[in-house]
Amino acid sequence: MGKHKDLSEFDKGQIVMARQLGQSISKTAALVGCSRSAVVSIYQKWLKEGTVVNWRQGHGWPRLIDAHVERRLARVVRSTDELL
Q: How far is CA 62 from CA 57, 59, 66, in A?
A: 10, 9, 10
Half-sphere exposure of 23 (CA within 13 A, CB side): 20
Q: In this structure, which CATH number among 3.90.320, 1.10.3470, 1.25.40, 1.10.10 belongs to the domain 1-53?
A: 1.10.10
Q: Which letter does DSSP use for residue 61 in this model?
A: P
CB-based burial label for 40 (10 Å; 0-12, 13-18, 19+): middle
Domain ranges of the chain: 1-53
pLDDT of residue 57: 64
Over the chain (84 residues), the average pLDDT of each successive run of 10 is 71 93 94 93 90 71 87 90 74
